A and B are shown apart, each in its own frame.
Chain A
Amino acid sequence: MPDAALRELKFRDRGRGEGLSAALARTVAEIGRAPVSVMHVCGSHEQAIARFGLRSGFPRDLHVIMGPGCPVCITDQPEVDEAVALARQGIRIATYGDMLRVPGTSASLADAQAEGARVDVVYGIDQAIATARTSPDPLVFFATGFETTAVTTAAAALAGLPPNLFILSAHKYIPPVMEIVCEMPGSRIEGFIAAGHAATITGWGIFEAFVARHGVPVVIAGFEPLDILAALVRLTELIRDGRRTVENMFPRCVTREGNLVAQRQLWQVFAPAGGRWRGIAHVPNGNLRLRDAWAHLDARRQFAIDLARLWDEAPSALSAQCVCGEIMSGLKTPSDCPLFGAECVPDTPVGACMVSTEGTCRIWREYGEQTCLSQR
């Protein structure tokens, strides 16, 4: 059997899944109160939970909430506005496919594209570099995503960009927002599942200070169904036993220190800055902005971005009813939103959470859980 198939069997084995589900039910029952609320902060985790139908097997008293873990969803309107304004000013934009339809104050990049602006979808900054080399026109890479993708932007900047390629950074940094969620009034989060790929870069040690400050356990998890189930079992055990620690349940990728080379590159190029995350709050140190040494690459400093013109257009009245922020803070679920599935659908999204395949609303819409059909 090829290696890939063997590896997959190891992390997608039904029998082991049943064993872990039973352990999870037992541990939640042993906690002896309901509900027990835990949060993960990663769109890939929600994807895996939905894609494998895991939620249909979770104990009823365990609430697994998706926090602000979708990089597309938390990109704030003014950041989208900057990209839209540049596009309308005639600057060519390259960005990830998910960003096209994210609504800004009054328009998305897809709207700008429909009006004739040049917007290219790329899979990574390397493709933006290749595009920049095909024409001398200035090209702005609208860089979004967490530390995982920010590192790729940083590495490319360090390796040297074509002179006509600029970066509009909307990169975000996850650890600070976990603090914000914990401190929100009404927060019932008793433990966190942290994203394995981000921790591959930052290392799991970064969460130790957080655990000490907030007194809630953190478990690092991978993305296969068994990874997630095993991490939830461990997290509920820690909650049951009142232990406030960081546990690494993704040791095949994550170390305590993380990827030091990547961290060095990240902080060489980017500096943390405070800024709003869409619908959530001002997050101190939650944004990654280019350092002064890289001002020559920074679209914000190299172009005059005419935002005012966009703000003359009224935002959609519907967007005022959108509860994306409360959903991402774990205070509401998509079914609490009056727009969900009615005015707000993947085709015509009102909130950013319906745009991205990693957004909570989109995932709920795509993979509604179902357990009533007769068993095989």
Chain B
Amino acid sequence: MPVAALNRHVAMKHGAGGRSMRRLIEEVFMRGAGSDAAAMDDGAAIRLSGGWLIVSTDSHVIHPLVFPGGDIGRLAVAGTVNDLAMMGATEPLGLTCGVILEEGFPIDELVRLQASMVAACEEAGTTIVAGDTKVMRRAEVDGIIINTAGIGMTHRVIRDSGLVPGDVLIVSGTLGDHGMAVMAARHKLEFRDELRSDVAPLNGLIRLALAAGGPWIHAMKDPTRGGLASVLHEMADRSKVGIVVDEPSVPVRPQVRAAAELLGIDPLFIANEGKAVIAVAPTAADAVLAAVRSHPYGRDAVIVARCVAEAPGTVVVDTGFGRRFLSEPDGELLPRIC
């Protein structure tokens, strides 16, 4: 009985993007699911004549609703657009938007969030084509929950199980900006330099990467909850390769690094909402890197890791001083005691 291994009740860690969430999905939601869902990728790929239809959905809850660099509206659009893009569908055909509101939610704020969603859709070149609204009694839901789903077409599906030894992994920019900005806003931590979320639709950037790398791009994923660590574990696990991270080359803004050090949190574990991890064969690495860097969201792109045949399924960090395993994220990030 696999479910017996889980705790008897759902805990916050089951939504934190790490090991516990993966187990909950595998042991509960995957029972009797179709083979498209069984890949547990960013979305599903459905075969149609002339290509693949990519379908993805994501529900968004965040505190605070507005944070430096974005808000829940922009997040809800970017999240789904990025999930489609990571599978190769860089022209989203349309999004749906389901909103659950708490009685008493200010209409003014709702108007602002809606405008933010429209702006993000314009940036991504898509529109919201269907929607649904529910209102719940006070305290039955906390403010607002936004669900978006999206569809897009691609000729080639990019999976996160396509890595082979030798591949290099590019991150499209600095890590930890979103999670640290939200954590600072939520806990009212003040730092001298501003922390700003990176939340953004990445389909434009991915379009450039795919044009430059074509079939040499073996896998893509956006490092959201659980951060780069979670993405690398999923990739290593599903592709049966070892991954070696060159830690000194991982780009992190000085203010994010400082805040993370202060709170005792590893930037590799912090959420991003406007970054991609792209696995590419070495022969096309320079071309893809140049293409990503030519996009405004990819200026700080850099190669941070490489795949090896040894120790499949594991992720190792080369710190410059030695080597260690990278643990798989689990549970919520909690600042340490001293």
The listed residue (B320, B327, B335) touching A17 by CB distance below 8 A is: B320
Q: Assess the B337–A98 pair: CB atoms within 8 A.
A: yes
- Chain A nearest CB: distance from B257 CB in Å? 8
Q: Assess the B244–A14 pair: CB atoms within 8 A.
A: no
The listed residue (A12, A225, A356, A368) touching B325 by CB distance below 8 A is: A368
- Chain B nearest CB: distance from A174 CB in Å? 12
The listed residue (B254, B306, B325, B330) touching A367 by CB distance below 8 A is: B325
Question: Across the interface, which residues of A come within 8 angstroms of B242, CB to CB?
Answer: 373
Q: Assess the A376–B325 pair: CB atoms within 8 A.
A: no
Q: A-B pairs with the 7 shortest C-beta distances? A: A53-B322, A53-B324, A56-B322, A96-B337, A14-B320, A97-B334, A57-B322
Q: Assess the A4–B335 pair: CB atoms within 8 A.
A: no
A300 at the interface (CB under 8 A from B): no
Given contacts A98-B336, A144-B337, contact A370 B314 (CB under 8 A): yes
A358 at the interface (CB under 8 A from B): yes
Q: Assess the A55–B310 pair: CB atoms within 8 A.
A: no
Question: Across the interface, which residues of B come within 8 angstroms of A2, CB to CB?
Answer: 254
Question: Across the interface, which residues of B come within 8 angstroms of A96, CB to CB?
Answer: 337-338
A99 to B316, CA, bound (A): 30
A145 to B318, CA, bound (A): 32
Bitwise interface map of A from 49 to 68 toward B, beta carbon under 8 Å scored 1, else 0: 01111111100000000000
Bitwise interface map of A from 85 to 108 toward B, beta carbon under 8 Å scored 1, else 0: 000000000001111000000000
A229 to B187, CA, bound (A): 35
Which one of B242, B244, B323 has the highest number of Cβ atoms from chain A below 10 Å of its Cβ?
Answer: B323
Q: Assess the B323–A56 pair: CB atoms within 8 A.
A: yes
B264 at the interface (CB under 8 A from A): yes
A342 at the interface (CB under 8 A from B): no
A21 to B321, CA, bound (A): 9
- Chain A nearest CB: distance from B166 CB in Å? 11
A317 at the interface (CB under 8 A from B): no
- Chain A nearest CB: distance from B63 CB in Å? 15
Q: Assess the A373–B321 pair: CB atoms within 8 A.
A: no
Closest residue to A48 on the B side, CB-wise? B321
B246 at the interface (CB under 8 A from A): yes
A60 to B230, CA, bound (A): 32
Using a Cβ–Cβ cut-off of 8 Å, how many residues does chain B contribute to the interface with A? Answer: 34
A-B contact pairs, 13 of them (CB 8 A): A51-B319, A52-B320, A52-B321, A53-B321, A53-B322, A71-B337, A146-B338, A148-B338, A225-B319, A225-B321, A369-B323, A370-B323, A373-B244
Bitwise interface map of A from 327 to 345 toward B, beta carbon under 8 Å scored 1, else 0: 0000000000000000000
Question: Across the interface, which residues of A come within 8 angstroms of B318, CB to CB?
Answer: 53, 376
Q: Assess the A370–B324 pair: CB atoms within 8 A.
A: yes
B308 at the interface (CB under 8 A from A): yes
Which B positions have Cβ atoms within 8 angstroms of A? 20, 187, 242, 244, 246, 248, 254, 257-258, 264, 266, 306, 308, 310-311, 314, 316-325, 327, 330-331, 334-338
A236 at the interface (CB under 8 A from B): no
Which A positions have Cβ atoms within 8 angstroms of B? 2, 4-5, 8, 12, 14, 17, 21, 44, 47, 50-57, 71-72, 96-99, 121, 123, 144-146, 148-149, 197, 225, 229, 346-347, 356-358, 365-374, 376
Q: Assess the A149–B321 pair: CB atoms within 8 A.
A: no
Closest residue to A15 on the B side, CB-wise? B320
Closest residue to B332 on the A side, CB-wise? A97
Q: Assess the B254–A4 pair: CB atoms within 8 A.
A: yes
Which one of A44, A47, A145, A373 has the highest number of Cβ atoms from chain B below 10 Å of its Cβ?
Answer: A373
Q: Assess the A56–B324 pair: CB atoms within 8 A.
A: yes
Q: Assess the B308–A14 pair: CB atoms within 8 A.
A: no
Question: Across the interface, which residues of B come within 8 angstroms of A370, CB to CB?
Answer: 311, 314, 316, 323-325
A71 to B325, CA, bound (A): 25
Closest residue to B242 on the A side, CB-wise? A373
Question: Across the interface, which residues of B come within 8 angstroms of A144, CB to CB?
Answer: 337
- Chain A nearest CB: distance from B266 CB in Å? 8
Question: Across the interface, which residues of B come within 8 angstroms of A367, CB to CB?
Answer: 324-325, 327
- Chain A nearest CB: distance from B229 CB in Å? 11
A55 to B331, CA, bound (A): 26
Question: Across the interface, which residues of B come within 8 angstroms of A146, CB to CB?
Answer: 338
Q: Assess the B336–A54 pair: CB atoms within 8 A.
A: no
Question: Across the interface, which residues of B come within 8 angstroms of A347, CB to CB?
Answer: 20, 330-331
A71 to B318, CA, bound (A): 29
Q: Assess the B310–A53 pair: CB atoms within 8 A.
A: no
Question: Across the interface, which residues of A come within 8 angstroms of B306, CB to CB?
Answer: 376
Given contacts A4-B258, A356-B337, contact A373 B246 (CB under 8 A): no
Question: Across the interface, which residues of B come within 8 angstroms of A371, CB to CB?
Answer: 322-323
Q: Assess the A14–B248 pair: CB atoms within 8 A.
A: yes
Q: Assess the A373–B338 pair: CB atoms within 8 A.
A: no
Question: Across the interface, which residues of B come within 8 angstroms of A47, CB to CB?
Answer: 264
Question: Across the interface, which residues of B come within 8 angstroms of A368, CB to CB?
Answer: 324-325
A54 to B319, CA, bound (A): 9
Question: Across the interface, which residues of B come within 8 angstroms of A14, CB to CB?
Answer: 248, 320-321
- Chain B nearest CB: distance from A370 CB in Å? 5
- Chain B nearest CB: distance from A187 CB in Å? 26
Q: Assess the B337–A358 pair: CB atoms within 8 A.
A: yes
Question: Across the interface, which residues of B come within 8 angstroms of A145, CB to CB?
Answer: 337-338
Which one of B264, B320, B324, B327 has the highest number of Cβ atoms from chain A below 10 Å of its Cβ?
Answer: B324
Q: Assess the B310–A12 pair: CB atoms within 8 A.
A: no
- Chain A nearest CB: distance from B308 CB in Å? 6
Given contacts A4-B254, A376-B246, contact A52 B337 (CB under 8 A): no
Q: Assess the B308–A374 pair: CB atoms within 8 A.
A: yes
Question: Across the interface, which residues of B come within 8 angstroms of A148, CB to CB?
Answer: 338
Given contacts A52-B322, A56-B323, contact A372 B338 (CB under 8 A): no
Question: Across the interface, which residues of A come within 8 angstroms of B325, CB to CB?
Answer: 367-370
- Chain B nearest CB: distance from A117 CB in Å? 17
Question: Across the interface, which residues of B come within 8 angstroms of A369, CB to CB?
Answer: 322-325
Q: Assess the A97–B324 pair: CB atoms within 8 A.
A: no
Q: Assess the A5–B244 pair: CB atoms within 8 A.
A: no
Given contacts A56-B324, A367-B327, A368-B324, contact A121 B319 (CB under 8 A): no
A197 to B337, CA, bound (A): 14
